[in-house]
Structure 1
Amino acid sequence: MNVATKLSPRDAAKEILWNRNDGLSWKAAQFLGQVVGLPDRPLSPAQSDWLKTLTERAGIGAEVDA
């Protein structure tokens, strides 16, 4: 992905779950599933930070609008 690309939290979570899930913990997968399933629910600052950490670990070179 291009660094200039911006993803919604839902799109970032789907990318990780569907294409970059090697080594993903149960807790992280559960969190990402909730982000996918409840796209209208805003993320707390802590959740936004965790999503950013997970996207970095997954090697997604995109900014997340969280």
Structure 2
Amino acid sequence: MAEHTFEKRRALSLAILTKGERLTRKSGSFLGQLIVDPTPMTPAQTDWFNTLVERAGLASDGGADV
């Protein structure tokens, strides 16, 4: 899995939150955490983030494999 910068992860998280489609409270909280916390994600968090990116239609923008 490719490593991506905090800034890219932050931008994708903001884009997903701005779209606001199909987000649960848990998903919104997770994305908010990613916006402010530069700590590397665990493999499980990375999988969940990639799922959220794909659902938001941002995977074609280089969002997959974050």
* Aligned counterpart, 1:4: none
Q: Percent identity?
A: 38
* Aligned counterpart, 1:17: 17
TM-score, scaled relative to structure 1: 0.76
* Aligned counterpart, 1:55: 53
- Cα displacement (A) at 1:25: 0.5
TM-score, scaled relative to structure 2: 0.76
Q: Is 1:9–1:51's contact at 8 Å kept on the other side of the alignment?
A: no
Larger strand share, 1 or 2? 1
CA distances 1:16-63 after superposition (whole Å, capped 9, x unpaired): 012x2122110100000000011x211111111111000100011222
Structure showing greater relative contact order (alpha-carbon pairs closer than 8 Å, 6 or more residues apart): 1
Query: Runs ≥4 in structure 1, deviation > 4 angstroms?
Result: none
Q: State the number of aligned residues.
A: 58
Q: What is the distance in 2 between the residues matched to 1:54 and 1:45?
A: 14
Larger helix share, 1 or 2? 2
- Gapped runs of 5+ residues in structure 2? 1-6
